[in-house]
């Protein structure tokens, strides 16, 4: 009996290192084969969103119209741009990130929400880029996406002399919420009257899970040349 136990112990003692080496070899082979996929699982970008009406989330930007041939200034109007801050808090860069506005809901007088049927989903523009697009969103960095802007009602028609019906249907004394869509259409579905809205936003890109979020904006319709007053009283933005 003792000899059998000794033989069994010796057998396991001699074969255990072999099994360890074999399993280790298989693990190395699996990692070698699937290393790109494993790297993708481990190292990914991650979207996070922040909203405010303070600087640098909101900026005064004059809109100027120049003569095409001479470059002479024809008209100018003041405007305020309102943006959200997007962060890549992941461990890897995100390629070709996009901000897609897929739904707009408007709060009714009874407190309920109703879909703005006229609105067409659109891509939003990344701020401070030549064409509103971003090729690479580096890890541990942040960028801004413009949600909308409002233009001084008293001078806004002057900057659109070729389209005097651009603001048709909107009250001339109130601002118009202009969604900063990448491709604005002739149906003007990116224009909204003052009110409270919930914007359904999707952030997506290569090497990151898509993030769906809702941004609530409230715009009273009143224009003031004082940006601080505009931020404090006339415009509110928050992430839901």
The count of C-alpha atoms lying within 13 angstroms of the C-alpha of 24, restricted to the half-sphere facing its C-beta, is 6
Q: CB pairs under 8 A, 24+ apart, for 187-190?
A: 187/118, 187/120, 189/118, 189/119, 189/120, 190/119, 190/120, 190/122
Instruction: For residue 5, name the pLDDT band (cuts at 50, 70, 90).
Output: low
- The residue ranges of every structural domain in the chain are 2-33, 44-239
Distances (CA, A) of 136 to 1, 133, 208: 70, 9, 12
Decide if pLDDT at 187 tops 90: no
Q: 216 has which bridge partners?
A: 198, 238
Decide if pLDDT at 37 tops 80: no
Decide if pLDDT at 213 tops 90: yes
Q: pLDDT tens digit string along 53-65?
A: 999 999 999 998 8
Instruction: For residue 185, name the pLDDT band (cuts at 50, 70, 90).
Output: confident
> What is the percent of the chain with per-residue pLDDT over 90, rounded to a whole number?
68
Decide if pLDDT at 98 tops 60: yes
Helices (H) and strands (E) in the chain, counts: 3, 15
Instruction: For residue 153, name the pLDDT band (cuts at 50, 70, 90).
Output: very high
Bigger pLDDT: 239 or 75?
239
- Per-residue pLDDT, 3: 57
Q: Buried b / exposed e across 210-236, counting CB within 10 Å, b at 16+?
A: ebebebbbebbbebeeebeebbeebbb
- Per-residue pLDDT, 130: 83
Mean pLDDT estimate for the chain: 87
């Amino acid at each position: 009996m003792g000899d059998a136990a000794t033989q069994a112990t010796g057998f396991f003692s001699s074969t255990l290192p072999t099994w360890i080496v074999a399993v280790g070899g298989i693990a190395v082979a699996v990692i070698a084969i699937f290393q790109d996929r494993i790297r993708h699982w481990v190292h990914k970008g991650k979207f996070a969103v922040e909203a405010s009406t303070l600087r640098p989330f909101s900026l005064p930007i004059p809109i100027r119209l120049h003569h095409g041939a001479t470059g002479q200034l024809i008209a100018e109007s003041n405007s305020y741009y309102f943006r959200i801050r997007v962060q890549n808090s992941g461990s890897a860069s995100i390629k070709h990130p996009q901000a897609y506005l897929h739904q707009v809901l408007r709060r009714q007088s009874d407190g309920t929400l109703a879909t703005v049927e006229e609105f067409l989903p659109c891509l939003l523009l990344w701020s401070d880029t030549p064409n509103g697009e971003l090729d690479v969103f580096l890890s541990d960095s942040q960028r801004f996406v413009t949600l909308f802007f409002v233009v001084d009602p008293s001078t806004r028609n002057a900057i659109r002399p070729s389209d005097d019906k651009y603001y048709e249907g909107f009250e001339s004394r109130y601002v118009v919420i202009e969604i900063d869509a990448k491709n604005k259409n002739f149906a003007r579905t990116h224009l909204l009257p003052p009110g409270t809205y919930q914007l359904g936003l999707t952030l997506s890109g290569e090497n990151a899970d898509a993030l769906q979020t809702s941004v609530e904006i409230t715009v009273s319709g009143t224009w003031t040349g004082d940006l601080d007053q505009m931020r404090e009283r006339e415009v509110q933005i928050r992430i839901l």
